[in-house]
Amino acid sequence: MLFFDISTWDPQDNEKVIEHFKNLRPPAGITIINQWVDLNGGRYFILYEAENNEAYAEFNIPWSDVCLIDSVPVMESTDFIKLMISKGL
Protein backbone atom coordinates (compact mmCIF):
# COMPACT_ATOMS: atom_id res chain seq x y z
CA MET A 1 0.00 0.00 0.00
CA LEU A 2 1.24 3.50 -0.83
CA PHE A 3 1.52 6.22 1.81
CA PHE A 4 2.23 9.92 1.49
CA ASP A 5 3.53 11.33 4.77
CA ILE A 6 4.00 14.95 5.72
CA SER A 7 6.28 15.31 8.73
CA THR A 8 6.53 18.61 10.60
CA TRP A 9 8.73 19.70 13.46
CA ASP A 10 9.62 22.74 15.53
CA PRO A 11 12.68 24.68 14.35
CA GLN A 12 14.28 24.07 17.77
CA ASP A 13 14.34 20.34 16.88
CA ASN A 14 16.30 20.76 13.63
CA GLU A 15 19.40 19.05 15.02
CA LYS A 16 17.40 16.05 16.26
CA VAL A 17 15.68 15.73 12.88
CA ILE A 18 19.02 15.90 11.05
CA GLU A 19 20.30 13.05 13.24
CA HIS A 20 17.23 11.00 12.36
CA PHE A 21 17.84 11.61 8.65
CA LYS A 22 21.48 10.54 8.99
CA ASN A 23 20.31 7.26 10.50
CA LEU A 24 17.37 6.69 8.14
CA ARG A 25 17.38 3.02 7.19
CA PRO A 26 13.98 1.81 6.00
CA PRO A 27 13.03 -1.54 7.54
CA ALA A 28 12.23 -4.61 5.47
CA GLY A 29 8.86 -4.11 3.84
CA ILE A 30 9.33 -0.39 3.13
CA THR A 31 10.22 0.92 -0.31
CA ILE A 32 10.84 4.67 -0.56
CA ILE A 33 9.61 6.03 -3.89
CA ASN A 34 10.62 9.66 -3.44
CA GLN A 35 11.16 12.31 -0.77
CA TRP A 36 11.14 16.09 -0.64
CA VAL A 37 12.09 18.77 1.88
CA ASP A 38 10.22 22.05 2.23
CA LEU A 39 12.80 24.72 1.37
CA ASN A 40 11.15 27.03 3.91
CA GLY A 41 12.01 24.51 6.62
CA GLY A 42 10.14 22.40 9.13
CA ARG A 43 8.48 19.94 6.73
CA TYR A 44 9.42 16.74 4.96
CA PHE A 45 7.34 14.84 2.41
CA ILE A 46 7.79 11.18 1.55
CA LEU A 47 6.03 8.74 -0.76
CA TYR A 48 6.65 5.08 0.06
CA GLU A 49 5.16 1.63 -0.15
CA ALA A 50 4.56 -0.45 2.98
CA GLU A 51 4.09 -4.19 2.58
CA ASN A 52 2.28 -4.55 5.91
CA ASN A 53 1.26 -2.83 9.14
CA GLU A 54 4.36 -3.95 10.98
CA ALA A 55 6.71 -2.35 8.44
CA TYR A 56 4.63 0.83 8.47
CA ALA A 57 4.81 1.08 12.28
CA GLU A 58 8.50 0.21 12.42
CA PHE A 59 9.21 2.97 9.89
CA ASN A 60 7.19 5.73 11.57
CA ILE A 61 7.43 5.13 15.31
CA PRO A 62 11.13 6.12 15.64
CA TRP A 63 10.23 9.62 14.36
CA SER A 64 7.51 10.22 16.96
CA ASP A 65 9.93 11.87 19.39
CA VAL A 66 10.74 14.76 17.01
CA CYS A 67 8.01 14.94 14.36
CA LEU A 68 4.30 15.05 13.91
CA ILE A 69 3.50 12.74 10.99
CA ASP A 70 0.37 13.19 8.91
CA SER A 71 0.18 9.88 7.04
CA VAL A 72 -2.22 9.47 4.11
CA PRO A 73 -2.85 6.21 2.24
CA VAL A 74 -2.88 7.01 -1.49
CA MET A 75 -3.26 5.36 -4.87
CA GLU A 76 -2.59 6.56 -8.40
CA SER A 77 -5.65 8.23 -9.86
CA THR A 78 -5.76 5.93 -12.90
CA ASP A 79 -5.85 2.88 -10.60
CA PHE A 80 -8.55 4.53 -8.50
CA ILE A 81 -10.71 5.20 -11.56
CA LYS A 82 -10.30 1.59 -12.73
CA LEU A 83 -11.32 0.37 -9.28
CA MET A 84 -14.41 2.58 -9.21
CA ILE A 85 -15.43 1.44 -12.69
CA SER A 86 -14.98 -2.22 -11.72
CA LYS A 87 -17.29 -1.62 -8.73
CA GLY A 88 -19.90 0.07 -10.92
CA LEU A 89 -19.44 3.46 -9.29
pTM for this entry: 0.86
Q: What per-residue string of b and e applies to 9-39 under the rule 16 or more CB within 10 Å gives b?
A: beeeeeeebeebeeeeeeeeebeeeeeeeee
Specify the CATH number for the domain of residue 35: 3.30.70.1060
Query: Which domain does 49 fall in, by range?
Result: 2-86
Strand, helix or coil for residue 25: coil
Where do the H-state alpha helices sit in the chain? 14-22, 53-60, 77-86
Domain total for the chain?
1
25-81 pLDDT, tens digit per residue, is 899 999 999 999 999 989 999 999 999 999 999 999 999 899 999 999 999 999 999
pLDDT of residue 26: 93
pLDDT of residue 23: 86
